[in-house]
Amino acid sequence: MTGFIHRYEPATKAGSPPLLLLHGTGGDENDLLGLGEMIAPGSALLSPRGRVLEHGMPRFFRRLAEGVFDEEDVRRRALELGEFVADARKQYGIGAPVAVGFSNGANIAAALLLLKPDVLAGAILLRAMVPLSDPPKANLAGKPVLLLSGQSDPIVPATNSAGLAALLSEAGARVEHKVLPAGHQLSQADVTLARSWIGSVEAKAA
């Protein structure tokens, strides 16, 4: 395995898509397991810990300031994460996962979609921003993406999340973008919408 500390919970229900859980700044491999169980009961859960430390807090890539990313690092770390997912799929015998990322985890998931489209079956991006100012031309034909933004999010400007939705749509993804009456933190509405969206993705795949 490519050097990520991680947790793996095997599926308990056939036909549910595996989830790749990607935590926010300061989280770890245990952070989103509960969320994964709530939105896709019975799915296999693969949850790595980010390998970059910012003042001792794990993240998935470096940033230069809040909202300003070290884009070279974003690219390198996204490719490392893609290798980890490929190795984990072989080791655990799972299909391509749907990423569920929050904040920094959502940003690396968006970068992974743009840099290595085949790694993910889709993504739930919670409070995500545009990860790369000059992204490669990706082919996301038909890939389902749910983008949930907070109306009063102090970190992610509305224009940025709308730009991400447009960027992924232009690459061919089936993007559903909802702006919730929330800040940067997750709300019950995020859980409810994510669960119903995963159900619709499962139904289409069946």
Q: What is the pLDDT of residue 200?
A: 87
pTM above 0.95, yes or no: yes
Are the CB atoms for 45 and 18 separated by under 8 Å? Answer: yes
Q: Average pLDDT of 54-65?
A: 95
The residues spanned by each domain of the chain are 6-205
Q: What is the pLDDT of residue 205?
A: 66
Q: Find how far residue 116's CA is from the centre of its chain.
A: 13
Q: Average pLDDT of the chain?
A: 95
Q: What is the pLDDT of residue 206?
A: 60
Domain 6-205: give its CATH architecture: 3-Layer(aba) Sandwich (3.40)
Q: Indicate if the pLDDT at residue 91 is higher than 70.
A: yes
Quote the CA–CA distance of 24 and 26 in Å, as a whole number: 6
Q: Which of 103, 149, 161, 190 is catalytic?
A: 103
Q: What is the pLDDT of residue 159?
A: 96
Are the CB atoms for 148 and 194 separated by under 8 Å? Answer: yes
Q: Is 87 a catalytic residue?
A: no
* % residues pLDDT > 70 (the chain): 98
Quote the CA–CA distance of 98 and 101 in Å, as a whole number: 10
Q: Which of 47, 153, 161, 190 is catalytic?
A: 153
Nearest residue to 104 (alpha-carbon basis) of 144, 79, 77: 77
Neighbours of 33 (CB within 10 A): 16
pLDDT band at residue 43 using 50, 70 and 90 as cut-offs: very high
Q: Is 103 a catalytic residue?
A: yes
Q: Which of 87, 169, 184, 187 is catalytic?
A: 184
Q: Is 184 a catalytic residue?
A: yes
Q: Indicate if the pLDDT at residue 2 is higher than 70.
A: no
Are the CB atoms for 188 and 157 separated by under 8 Å? Answer: no
pLDDT, tens digit, for every residue of 107-117?
999 999 999 99
Are the CB atoms for 130 and 109 separated by under 8 Å? Answer: no
pLDDT band at residue 67 using 50, 70 and 90 as cut-offs: confident
